[in-house]
C-alpha cells in the first residue's frame, strides 16, 4: 500500500509535506509529532521533502525516537580513558606498503572494573608525507581472526560464536586455530593501496554477544538498566570510541572518518553513524532487520525472529512489536534519512534472503527525499537492480551494492563503498 503524506496546518494555510517549493515553508519548524507514528495506520508516514534547514531541525528528533523505541540508551562516552598503550609497532607489513600497530584502550566501568579494547591499526607507508583517511571497523571473532600473522594478539575476552570448536575457540577463548578464519572480511592490503588507514577491534571486547552474559555487564559495568539499552547501542558506542582514538592521531585526516559493519554490526554501524557526525560515510552491509531493511515488509528475519533469538540486541520496549511487524508505525527509512548529507552505501547479497535484500534497497530508496534536500542529484534505480559485484548503483550521496553470493563481507563490498566515496 502507498505511503501517505501528512498535511501540516499552520498560519491558516494547509501545506502538503511533499511540496518541493521550499519557499512556501520557510517559517515552519518541523517536529516529529507532525508525522503521527501511531499503531494501526495502513503504512508508516513517508520520509518528507523538506529544506536542508528543516531536516537539520528534524534529525535530532528522529534519533531520539529510535533511541527510545528501538536501540536504547548509549553508555557514557567518558568510560573510555585517554591513555593508550602501544603493544606492537609500528611494524612494516605487506612488503613495505604499510605499517601495523596494536594498541590497547581501557574502558573503566561504573563498578570500577576495566575492560580492555584491543585495537589493530594499519596505515599506508605514505603517512610520512601526508595525512590519510581512516576506515573504522568492528570485527566478529577478534583481531587475530582477520589475519594469519602470528604477531596479532589473541583477545582475552570471551567470544561467543556458533561452531566454536570448529572455528578454533575453546571455552569461549580464541586459540591459534582461529587465526585468519575471517581474513576475507577485512581486505587490508587493498585498503592500504587505496590510501586508507584501518582501525579494527573485536566487538565482543566491548560486550559479549550472549543474552545471559551481556545483561549483567550492561547493568554493573555500563550502568544501564538492561531493559532500557541494547547490545547494538553499546557496540555502536564502540564505533564512537574508535573514532575518539582516530581523532587523537596526528597522521589521520580530521573529518575523513568512514565506517563499515556487517550483519549485526551493520545494524550497529548504521546506528553509530546516525548518532555521530564525525563518521562522514558509512557502509551498511547485509544488515537486514533492525538495519537497512524495512520492518513492515516482514520478509526474511522478522522482529519476532530477531528479538526471540537475540533479546539483548534491542531495548525491551521494541520486543512488543514481535509478530506485529505489519502494525509498527515507523520504519527504517526514517533512520536512513537521518544520515543525510553524509554518504551511505547499503550492500546486499543475492543468497541472503534472511536479510531481505529488496527491503534493504527500498529502505534507502524511500529515504531519498532527505538526501535530495542536500544534494539534488542523489538517486537510485526505480526498482531492485541486478547483481554487479563491486559496483555502487546510484548517484550523489547514496549507493546500493548487490553482490552475488551468501551473507558475507567481501572485498567487492569494499570496492563498491570506495567507488561511492570517490564520487
Sign of CA dihedral 3, 9, 13, 17: negative
Sheet holding 114-124, edge to edge: 85-93, 98-108, 114-124, 197-202, 132-139, 252-262, 279-285, 343-349, 398-403
DSSP classification of residue 70 = I
What is the C-alpha separation between 302 and 416, in angstroms, rounded?
27
Number of CB atoms found within 10 A of residue 115's CB: 18
What string of DSSP letters covers 209-256? SSHHHHHHHHHHTS---GGGB-HHHHHHHHHHHHHHHHHT-TTEEEEE
What is the set of active-site residues?
A: 263, 407
- The grid coordinates listed for 19 are 511540496
* 83 SS3 class: coil
Strand partners, 282: 259, 344
Strand partners, 88: 102
- The grid coordinates listed for 412 are 567487492
Amino acid at each position: 500500500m502507498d505511503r501517505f503524506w501528512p498535511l501540516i496546518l499552520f498560519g491558516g494555510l494547509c501545506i502538503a509535506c511533499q511540496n518541493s517549493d521550499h519557499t512556501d515553508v520557510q517559517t515552519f519548524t518541523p517536529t516529529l509529532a507532525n508525522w503521527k507514528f501511531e499503531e494501526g495506520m495502513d503504512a508508516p508516514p513517508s520520509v518528507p521533502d523538506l529544506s536542508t534547514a528543516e531536516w537539520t531541525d528534524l534529525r535530532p528528533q528522529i534519533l531520539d525516537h529510535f533511541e527510545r523505541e528501538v536501540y536504547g540508551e548509549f553508555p557514557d562516552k567518558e568510560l573510555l580513558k585517554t591513555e593508550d598503550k602501544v603493544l606492537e609497532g609500528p611494524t612494516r607489513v605487506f612488503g613495505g606498503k604499510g605499517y601495523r600497530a596494536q594498541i590497547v584502550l581501557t574502558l573503566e566501568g561504573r563498578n570500577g572494573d576495566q575492560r580492555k579494547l584491543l585495537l589493530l591499526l594499519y596505515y599506508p607507508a605514505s603517512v610520512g608525507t601526508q595525512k590519510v583517511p581512516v576506515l573504522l571497523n568492528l570485527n566478529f571473532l577478534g583481531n587475530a581472526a582477520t589475519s594469519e600473522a602470528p604477531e596479532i594478539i589473541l583477545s582475552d575476552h570471551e567470544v561467543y560464536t556458533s561452531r566454536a570448536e570448529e572455528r578454533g575457540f575453546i571455552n569461549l577463548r580464541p586459540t591459534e586455530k582461529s587465526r585468519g578464519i575471517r581474513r576475507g572480511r577485512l581486505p587490508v592490503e587493498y585498503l592500504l593501496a587505496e590510501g586508507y588507514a584501518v582501525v579494527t577491534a573485536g566487538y565482543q571486547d566491548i560486550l559479549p554477544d550472549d543474552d545471559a552474559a551481556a545483561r549483567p555487564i550492561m547493568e554493573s559495568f555500563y550502568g544501564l538498566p538492561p531493559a532500557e539499552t541494547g547490545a547494538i547501542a553499546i557496540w555502536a558506542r564502540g564505533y564512537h570510541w574508535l573514532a575518539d582514538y582516530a581523532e587523537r592521531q596526528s597522521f589521520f585526516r580530521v573529518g575523513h572518518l568512514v565506517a563499515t559493519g556487517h550483519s549485526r554490526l551493520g545494524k550497529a554501524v548504521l546506528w553509530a553513524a546516525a548518532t555521530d557526525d564525525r563518521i562522514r560515510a558509512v557502509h551498511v552491509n547485509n544488515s537486514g532487520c533492525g538495519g537497512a531493511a524495512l520492518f513492515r515488509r516482514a520478509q526474511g528475519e522478522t522482529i519476532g525472529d530477531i528479538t526471540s533469538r537475540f533479546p539483548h540486541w534491542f531495548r525491551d520496549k521494541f520486543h512488543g512489536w514481535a509478530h506485529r511487524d505489519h502494525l509498527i508505525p515507523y520504519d527504517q527509512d526514517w533512520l536512513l534519512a537521518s544520515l543525510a548529507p553524509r554518504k551511505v552505501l547499503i550492500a546486499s547479497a543475492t543468497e541472503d534472503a534472511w536479510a531481505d535484500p529488496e527491503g534493504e534497497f527500498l529502505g534507502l530508496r524511500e529515504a531519498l527525499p532527505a538526501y535530495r534536500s542536500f544534494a539534488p542529484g542523489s538517486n537510485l534505480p526505480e526498482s531492485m537492480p541486478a547483481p554487479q559485484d563491486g559496483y555502487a548503483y546510484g548517484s550523489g550521496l547514496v549507493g546500493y551494492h548487490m553482490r552475488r553470493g551468501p551473507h558475507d563481507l567481501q572485498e567487492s563490498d569494499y570496492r563498491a563503498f570506495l567507488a561511492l566515496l570517490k564520487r
